[in-house]
Structure 1
Amino acid sequence: MDVSDIINLVIGFLAIIVGILMFWSLPVPKADKHANLPFLSIIIPARNEENRITPLLHSLQEQDFQSFEVLVIDDQSFDNTVTVAKAHGAKVIQKQGKDRESGKSMACWSGALHAKGKWLLFLDADTCFTDANSLRNLLLSYQQKGAKGILSLQPYHTVHKMYENLSAVFNTIVIVGMNIFTIWGRRFQTAGSFGPCILCNRDDYFLSGGHKKIQGAIMDDLALGQAFLNKDLPVYCLGGKGIISFRMYSEGFKSLVEGWCKSFAIASKSTHPIVMLLTIIWISGSFISAGMLLSFFTSADPVTMILSGLLYFLYAVQTAWFARRCGNFQWMIFIFYPILFLFFAAIYGYSLFRVNILHSVKWRGRNIDV
């Protein structure tokens, strides 16, 4: 075993330890008791969501808690989103306005202005509640936290097609990048809130300025969380497994690339430097472990072969463990985990190019200036 192999093996095994520190846990909402809950307004911003919104609306009809209204804010859709929403009993608000007033943030703001509920729940159209008691458990969890500020969930990612597994590392990094899932817990301030599922009370929402204040922000979820924090309102971020799920970028590989490119370079700026350092070490370790696999096949030293193979195996298991906290990614793909990290690195680099050089990203048929 030469010196370079020793150094790479040491770094690789240390990176696995760093990974554990980086992604220590992902708690989910827990409701310990039943209580009276206020009337709720569920606000769903929608642009061309006819193929994605039905599971969410259907799951809402099946909830055992039914004291809510559903407001679908149509953001200039040119498909059958409005028809589908009305067919499931939702109230549709067709938002009009100039291009600068379009987008998710202003759709959410429009919904909040029309809402009658004491609590507001903002949901992406591609989310779906898991069980009949999921909504009640979410609301009870918020109540147990004092019903103040924001409770946001990152939905559990459901995978249906092979290309969707390419999101595995992205999902992990998105959650880690919120700063509060390390071994140090909430010692670091959260980067903001998760975007697909945001629950807050009406008074706190308007006190913070709501989505109106963050109009134009590419990462509206992070910006909204910061708006609440600026008013000394708490922001809680939890995993959504067992409560809410989503299927990301079901339209195809192109939408997956556009979706992750839209957000990653900007979102990384909100990650705490220590968490960012841990993340960089963990990602670097994945490439080192992949490189050391060559030693498993080419080295004549049995110790090098054993340690190289063990390092690769442990990285595959750890990557699978982390990713499957976030979604139902297929176990077999993690045998080829270097491909997942290479894809992540390529999209992150492309995102940096679009944000810092072209100052523009594309999403849902719109060019968004950055």
Structure 2
Amino acid sequence: IASLNSLTFPRLRPAAPSAGPTSTKIPPSIPPLRGEVSAPSPTRGGLGRGAEVNFDPPLSSQPVGPTPLVSLLIPARDEAAVIGQTVTRLLAQSYAHFELIILDDHSTDATPALVRAAAAGDDRVRLLAGQPLPPGWLGKNWACQQLAQAAQGEWLIFTDADVQWEPAALSALVAELRRTEADLLTVWPSQHSHSWGERLVVPLMALAIVGYLPLLLVHHAPLAALAAANGQCLAFRRRAYLAIGGHQPVWNEVLEDVVLARTIKAAGLRLRMADGAGLIRCRMYRGWAEVRDGFAKNILAGYGGSVLFLLLATLFHWLVFVGPWLWLLAGWSLPSATVGATLWPVGPLLLIGLGLGVRLLTAAVTGQRLADGLLMPLSVLLMTRIAGQAIWWQWRYGGPRWKGRTIGRAEDWNASRGSAEEWKDGTVT
């Protein structure tokens, strides 16, 4: 799979500017996308699975023509360390026909002030204040839903506050959208890692995609389970986004990006993936503590919330990436009549080579450090620690934790986000 993906994974290329549902739970009722989704009706069961979508007239008055309006949408909470640079780089894009909307999700730092300073009066930038979290919704999903309600573009591009875009990135992304005619294009940014905790764990995301998921089946097989996405960059055709109900189908999903991709495929729409190396980059976490907590937040959801599947996957990775090393080291002491002794050292060396080959090929395809791939057994040990923390959170708190709060408990989040009266205006001035 890794070898085939290395040959077929499309990469964003700089381009000159142009001339011109898998979740069956019903989310709590929320405001519809402005002017596009009808109000809930008792006969339709409310918003979510039964909402009617009206595409005429389109919300935006901008022509779809050769330079359609693109909406860049960023949810931001306590992102003072990065948001200024992110806004500055986005405003320098060579593709000029875009709007940039940042939703301040009740930050406790200088995030709003830094957005205003970076925007410097640019009328393409809008800064919104997030509304209180409805019961059951996860914070980022609710923030993205609000961003979509405010967006005017023909294409809606959700990106994170810590994702950095080169000046040609948006132009290249729009060119790829046109080339593939995708309804959802998800781009995998270059992942920049500095500390050892980052270097040993963060690249495993690429291993899961490039090493285990056949790209051709993701693009061309109708099975929704064969889908993946990266929430750091999700580019939706507006009509496709509305057709699946926006972020409503993923109102309480931790891995909302993956579920959105599956929902797109389940609806018969076109999902495409691309490598953004050299044009879009991200440093997800800073240091081992952030890596540990960030991956522990998501890992159980990656296995359908099943502790059993997570344990089996952990055992599999021990057998593939750690077991052969233990066999190699202990082989000299095995009784001579055993199979392990008979195959030693050729057997463990072959298995070590296979495991390292997959890891190194993934690193080469995604532009990671090859030397870090040699330490894959240490990566598995760290992931085992992360899996243990995720299981502990599930047992102790009933779900994953993030920034001291249990994800999915609206009262925990709203306690630090101010009252509805304080935020009723909905716009930061």
Q: TM (normalized to structure 2)? A: 0.70
Q: Sort the Cα spacing of 1:97 and 1:82 in 2 relative to 1 into closer, same or farther, 3 A.
A: same
Determine which structure has more spread, i.e. the larger CA radius of gyration.
2
Are 1:343 and 2:382 an aligned pair?
A: yes
Match of 1:144 in 2: 179
Cα distance per residue 1:255-281 (max 9 Å; x no partner): 21111011111123399xxxxx99975
- The unaligned stretches of length 5 or more in structure 2 are 19-65, 120-124, 307-311, 410-429
Q: Sort the Cα spacing of 1:177 and 1:111 in 2 relative to 1 into closer, same or farther, 3 A.
A: farther
1:166 Cα offset (Å): 2.3
Q: Which moved more, 1:227-236 or 1:156-165?
A: 227-236
Q: Which moved more, 1:118-127 or 1:224-233?
A: 224-233
Match of 1:134 in 2: 169
Match of 2:201 in 1: 167
Assess if the C-alpha contact under 8 Å between 1:359 and 1:369 holds in 2. no
Q: Sort the Cα spacing of 1:287 and 1:169 in 2 relative to 1 into closer, same or farther, 3 A.
A: farther
Q: Percent identity?
A: 24
What secondary structure does 1:206 align onto?
Answer: helix
Match of 1:29 in 2: 12
Assess if the C-alpha contact under 8 Å between 2:89 and 2:167 holds in 1. yes
| Separation in structure 1 between the aligned mates of residue 315 and residue 71 of structure 2, nearest angstrom | 40
| Separation in structure 1 between the aligned mates of residue 210 and residue 195 of structure 2, nearest angstrom | 25
Match of 1:66 in 2: 96
Q: Sort the Cα spacing of 1:58 and 1:320 in 2 relative to 1 into closer, same or farther, 3 A.
A: farther
1:47 Cα offset (Å): 0.8
CA RMSD of aligned residues (A): 3.5
Are 1:260 and 2:289 an aligned pair?
A: no
Q: Sort the Cα spacing of 1:182 and 1:337 in 2 relative to 1 into closer, same or farther, 3 A.
A: farther
* Aligned amino acid, residue 156 of structure 2: L
Q: Sort the Cα spacing of 1:32 and 1:43 in 2 relative to 1 into closer, same or farther, 3 A.
A: closer
What secondary structure does 1:121 align onto?
Answer: strand
* Aligned amino acid, residue 367 of structure 1: T
Match of 1:293 in 2: 328
| Separation in structure 1 between the aligned mates of residue 197 and residue 319 of structure 2, nearest angstrom | 23
Q: Sort the Cα spacing of 1:58 and 1:365 in 2 relative to 1 into closer, same or farther, 3 A.
A: farther
Alignment partner for residue 319 of structure 1, among 359, 362, 367? Answer: 359
Alignment partner for residue 210 of structure 1, among 246, 260, 263? Answer: 246
Q: Sort the Cα spacing of 1:286 and 1:328 in 2 relative to 1 into closer, same or farther, 3 A.
A: same
Match of 1:46 in 2: 76
Assess if the C-alpha contact under 8 Å between 1:158 and 1:246 holds in 2. yes
| Separation in structure 2 between the aligned mates of residue 227 and residue 267 of structure 1, nearest angstrom | 16
Q: Sort the Cα spacing of 1:267 and 1:306 in 2 relative to 1 into closer, same or farther, 3 A.
A: closer
Assess if the C-alpha contact under 8 Å between 1:217 and 1:223 holds in 2. yes
Alignment partner for residue 332 of structure 1, among 371, 378, 390? Answer: 371
Q: Sort the Cα spacing of 1:256 and 1:151 in 2 relative to 1 into closer, same or farther, 3 A.
A: same
Q: Sort the Cα spacing of 1:366 and 1:34 in 2 relative to 1 into closer, same or farther, 3 A.
A: same
| Separation in structure 1 between the aligned mates of residue 159 and residue 229 of structure 2, nearest angstrom | 13
Q: Sort the Cα spacing of 1:20 and 1:203 in 2 relative to 1 into closer, same or farther, 3 A.
A: closer
Are 1:114 and 2:150 an aligned pair?
A: yes
Aligned length: 345
What secondary structure does 1:73 align onto?
Answer: strand
Match of 2:44 in 1: none
Q: Which moved more, 1:176-185 or 1:283-292?
A: 176-185
1:120 Cα offset (Å): 0.9
- The unaligned stretches of length 5 or more in structure 1 are 1-17, 272-276
| Separation in structure 2 between the aligned mates of residue 137 and residue 124 of structure 1, nearest angstrom | 18
What secondary structure does 1:360 align onto?
Answer: coil
1:168 Cα offset (Å): 4.3
